[in-house]
């Protein structure tokens, strides 16, 4: 009988300590989550997920989500945790963020276009110039206000994800796109030869990382994941993973090191 009660106690202890399972969504994103020709997944988010699983002990079941659908899916309770998410005040009402990176969006243009468009005011003044964005994307408030102004003028085109947006840009369907520097990781040779980034919002950086549903992920598990993330940042693991995947220069500009 004593053995039976011991087993029962161990069972309930294990249940109390369990974390998950939670539905974890990747977003296809250059340098963070990609698939090669054989379907193998690679990128910083892939490595970070494995490290977070090991450090937190949480069960995270993976799916791949369209960036335009990920937030409605979270609101419907179909996704519990999302990677590659930018923090905004509106989103924080729905999720808690684990911040791993900080960057600022810039305007990507072809070199010839950049020479003829030397400033944001020059871009605004030319009604023929079109901007490309990812459907459902979010930016720092001042950048979002600029996008909304162009949208009201009928000068914004949307793509389903960053890869399709860059393809549209490179065949001339739009004249410029909003991009974070690391998004050009997979096409660095093309970028260096033919394109330029305009840093027109230097004071407006954006934080990004994992979004944890407040409704679906328990407070105890959010704390568990928060502690795991903090330890991976503090001991340099995130920085080492980023350097291995992205290279030292890009990693230093992107990852929050402490």
Angle between helices 237-246 and 219-234 (to 10 degrees): 70
pLDDT above 60 for 4: no
Do 106-198 and 20-103+206-254 have the same topology in CATH? yes
Distances (CA, A) of 169 to 66, 110, 133: 20, 9, 10
- pLDDT of 186 reads 66
- pLDDT of 10 reads 34
Distance CA 45, CA 174 (A): 29
Cis ω for the linkage preceding 24 (within 30 of 0):
no
Q: What tens digit of pLDDT does each residue of 187-215 get? A: 666 777 889 999 999 888 889 999 999 99
Q: Which residue has the higher pLDDT, 220 or 139?
A: 220
Mean pLDDT of all residues belonging to the chain: 89
- pLDDT of 190 reads 73
CB 217 within 8 A of CB 80: yes
- The SS3 of residue 28 is coil
What letter does residue 255 receive in the DSSP assignment? B
CATH number of the domain at 20-103+206-254, please?
3.40.190.10
Distance CA 17, CA 77 (A): 23
Q: Return the half-sphere exposure (C-beta side, CA atoms, 13 A cut-off) of residue 213.
A: 21
Tell me the CATH class for 106-198. Answer: alpha beta
pLDDT above 90 for 249: no
Q: Band of the pLDDT at 163, cuts 50, 70, 90?
A: confident
Q: Domain coordinates of the chain in residue numbers?
A: 20-103+206-254, 106-198
Mean pLDDT of 109-138: 95
Q: What tens digit of pLDDT does each residue of 7-34 get? A: 333 333 434 468 999 999 999 888 899 8
> pLDDT over 90 for what percent of the chain?
64
pLDDT above 50 for 49: yes
> pLDDT over 70 for what percent of the chain?
91
Paired strand residues for 206: 103
- pLDDT of 187 reads 64
Mean pLDDT of 70-96: 94
């Amino acid at each position: 009988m004593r053995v039976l009660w011991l087993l029962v106690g161990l069972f309930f202890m294990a249940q109390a300590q369990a974390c998950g399972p939670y539905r974890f969504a990747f977003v296809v994103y250059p340098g963070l989550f990609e698939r090669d020709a054989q379907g193998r997944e690679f990128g910083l988010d892939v490595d970070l997920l494995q490290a977070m699983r090991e450090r937190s002990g949480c069960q995270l079941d993976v799916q791949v989500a369209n960036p335009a659908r990920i937030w409605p899916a979270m609101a419907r309770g179909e996704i519990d945790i999302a990677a590659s998410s930018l923090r905004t005040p509106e989103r924080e009402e729905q999720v808690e963020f684990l911040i791993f990176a900080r960057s600022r969006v810039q305007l990507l243009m072809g070199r010839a276009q950049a020479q003829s468009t030397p400033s944001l005011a020059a871009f605004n003044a030319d009604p023929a110039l079109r901007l490309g964005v990812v459907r459902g994307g979010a930016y720092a408030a001042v950048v979002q206000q600029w996008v909304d102004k162009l949208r009201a003028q009928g000068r914004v085109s949307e793509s389903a994800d960053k890869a399709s947006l860059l393809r549209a840009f490179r065949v001339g369907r739009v004249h410029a796109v909003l991009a974070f520097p690391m998004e050009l990781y997979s096409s660095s040779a093309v970028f260096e030869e033919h394109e330029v980034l305009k840093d027109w919002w230097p004071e407006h950086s954006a934080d990004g990382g994992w979004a944890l549903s407040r409704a679906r992920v328990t407070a105890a598990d959010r704390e568990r994941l928060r502690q795991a993330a903090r330890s991976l940042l503090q001991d340099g693991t995130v920085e080492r993973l980023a350097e291995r995947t992205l290279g030292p220069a890009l990693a230093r500009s992107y990852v929050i090191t402490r």
